[in-house]
Structure 1
Amino acid sequence: MIEISIAGKVALFIAVPSTLLLFYWLLGRNEEEDDEFSSNDEIATSRQTVIEVKVPRSIVGPLIGRQGANIKKLQEESGARVNFKDESTLSRSSDDNRTVIIRGTSESAQKAELMIRKIIADMPAILTEEIQVPAVALGRIIGRGGENVRELSRISKAKIYIERTTEDHNKVGNRKVTITGSREQIDLAKNLIDEKIHEEEAFRAKKSVMEANREQRTSHRKDRTPEHDTHHISPAMLKDESWESTKAVMPEQKDYMEVYISAIEHPGHFWVQILSSEAMQLDRMTDEMNRFYSTDEAKLSYSISDISIGDMVAAPFESDNAWYRAKVIGIHEDKVDLYFVDFGDSEFVWRNQIRQLRPDFLSLKFQAVECKLANIKPTGENWSEAAIDFFEEITYCAQWKVLIAKTVTYESTASGMIPCLQLYDTNGDEDIDINEEMVSKKHGILDDLMTAGEEATASSLFEVPQIEA
């Protein structure tokens, strides 16, 4: 056995603990380095990747989706956050693209980028095409308050913009229609518009036949006394709910419409028929009434013994001897005072000429709408005979020539709210503003008594509607 000197023992005693201490220190150092490396890895993986992608403006809507549904789904599937970069007014007008900012881990950001680029690649090219449509078909294409054009846009998924002019009551020539969408969307929109044009052409053809077959009616305004004036309907009639529910009213629209002047008392009180499919239904119903009330069955089974004010009846009109719907507004010995609800004129008819109205003849709403000229009043206390004659002539009363009308405001009367109309005659080479013509010919004066509040109300009620869908 090797003997160790005292000095060696001392050296060994000192070296062993030192070696152990050095080993422990080195081991601790390695652990610290491992911890550092682990910490550095965590920092690297927590850093966000930011990617910017240019998106054509035409794709922005489909990318976002209704109420952001598409972009929410994209974020959920990718795990990245996706937002559009705010832009200035200058960049908005000068750049055809929007910038999408993608934030997330490298993997999630790249996944979101690939998804967006696929959406852009799969999206069909957005085109814009202009077509010309007949101005006469605008009303049918646009619809009341723009409801038709909005429906066409909804079905085709294309944006449809119809050119508006300051003379949209003029039905001559063509109007420009701009359609924006994919090739398929534009083609579908054009086909739908063509269908509306063909509907209007068919309607015009039927209208021509209708006007040719209609007999001109003779006004009976000069033979009536004030107490029998249809403007002064009895209080009992005004309280009659059936009268109020069936009374003809102007449609709730803000655009120009085509009308016939069917009867006149004076420029402050006249009746119009609105040119629509219901006007043609009226002609068909009138033909059926004439056939039926000429039969022996009608004479025997539909005679009337007791008549009351407010009754709906069938009666002949003196000027053409055709049968029409009428309401009893007065009873005078052997004659009955009748208001013809589809035309607005009145007449005294012998009791024995009146027949009960067959129930199915009440299915169609009354067609005569009570109106007055807007912002015009008589030059004197009352309308002169010359003014009434001129108005009757210039509006082709009961001659079934189309005028263009626009409701300016409403006026409260004893028989309810009646529309005040601006009328135009577009039958000649030049359009005639009938309201202005009445003033220029000294048959009326401008009514400047409308208050500022009434003018503001009329303006807000009858603004031209937006047509873009």
Structure 2
Amino acid sequence: MDREPVYGGLDDGQVEALLPDCDTCVAVEIATIINPAHFYIILPWGKRTLDTLLDPRSTDPGEDDETLDELVTSLQRRYGNMTFPQRTLVHYAEGELVVARFAQDGRWYRAKVLCSDDRERNTRIQVFYVDFGNKEWVSERDIKPMEPQFLHLPFQAIECFLVDIEPTGHADHFSQKAKKMFQEMTDGKTLVAYVKSRSWSGCLYIDLFDTSGEEDINIGKVLIAQGQAQVPRPHSETSLTSRSGSEGSLLLIPG
């Protein structure tokens, strides 16, 4: 079965600096949806727990650090009006960090090169946007080397898996209806994630809640109740990662 590759991995230092601890609740925003059980998040207030966010006496030790919004603004200022020499006869290497212009809004974002396709006259390069979790093919004119001053902020996109759900029946993938329902429940919202575990590579395994109403909503349980997901079968041969295979991703931000 196809597996969705993991791009934009974190080194050990970045994992500790960026990822919340297990058994904590943190505020999250969905950046890119692969399916209801596999998506990328950003942490709008970093790894601060919900308890500290709600405590008026608590201060943010990183409140003077540069934010993602500030970094993106700096990228536009630097790359938006610059004229770069044409890069010729040089191939971008797989894994190379670059700045790429996102087709949907024409803005520049940090990215990592996945692969290139030079079979046609105009070389196309597939990139992974390390701060948002989506990928796309861009032309060579829409990709530039990343300057060192834009590397200090850890990559903000965190790969997540929603625990205790899988596609209904014996399907290999979630339906488009399930994906749409998950999008409608999460789009444009600040949600709460309960971190159940995390992997050595920087992935989080979470429960996800919408706490904006009078009652907290467990999004996984709603999907199950609406028939768009089911509790994983005992001794299932498939896992969350194997079920996230070749499904297309849905970008919520930037844009």
Q: Which of 255, 261, 266 is the aligned partner of 2:35?
A: 266
Alignment of 1:336-375 (within 5 A): 336-375=125-164
Q: Which of 411, 419, 423 is the aligned partner of 2:208?
A: 423
Q: CA deviation at 1:232?
A: 1.9
- Secondary structure of the residue aligned to 1:371 is strand
Q: Measure the CA separation in 2 of the matches of 1:254 and 1:344.
A: 24
Q: Measure the CA separation in 2 of the matches of 1:391 and 1:349.
A: 28
Equivalenced residue count is: 210
Alignment of 1:21-36 (within 5 A): none
Q: Measure the CA separation in 2 of the matches of 1:312 and 1:327.
A: 5
Question: Does the Cα contact within 8 Å between 2:10 and 2:202 map onto a contact in 1?
Answer: no
Over 3 Å counting, the alpha-carbon distance change for 1:446 and 1:335 in structure 2 is same
Say whether 1:254 aligns with 2:23: yes
Partner of 1:329: 114
Partner of 1:30: none
Q: CA deviation at 1:431?
A: 2.1
Alignment of 1:177-256 (within 5 A): 231-233=4-6, 244=11, 250-256=19-25
Alignment of 1:290-439 (within 5 A): 290-296=76-82, 299-300=83-84, 305-333=90-118, 334-379=123-168, 380-396=171-187, 399=188, 401-410=189-198, 416=201, 418-439=203-224
- Secondary structure of the residue aligned to 1:365 is coil
CA RMSD of aligned residues (A): 2.9
Question: Does the Cα contact within 8 Å between 1:316 and 1:323 map onto a contact in 2?
Answer: yes
Structure 2: runs of 5+ lacking an equivalent: 47-61, 237-255
Q: CA deviation at 1:418?
A: 2.4
Partner of 1:84: none
Return the letter of the residue paired with 2:194: K
Structure 1: runs of 5+ lacking an equivalent: 1-225, 452-469
Please give the TM-score of this superposition, normalised by the length of structure 2.
0.73
Residue-by-residue CA offset, 1:176-222 (whole Å, 9 max, x unaligned): xxxxxxxxxxxxxxxxxxxxxxxxxxxxxxxxxxxxxxxxxxxxxxx
Q: Measure the CA separation in 2 of the matches of 1:284 and 1:348.
A: 25
Please give the TM-score of this superposition, normalised by the length of structure 1.
0.41
Higher RCO, 1 or 2 (CA under 8 Å, sep at least 6)? 2
Over 3 Å counting, the alpha-carbon distance change for 1:381 and 1:330 in structure 2 is same
Residue-by-residue CA offset, 1:319-341 (whole Å, 9 max, x unaligned): 21111100011112221111100
Q: Which of 50, 54, 67 is the aligned partner of 1:281?
A: 67
Residue-by-residue CA offset, 1:50-91 (whole Å, 9 max, x unaligned): xxxxxxxxxxxxxxxxxxxxxxxxxxxxxxxxxxxxxxxxxx
Relative to total residues, which structure has the larger helix share, 1 or 2?
1
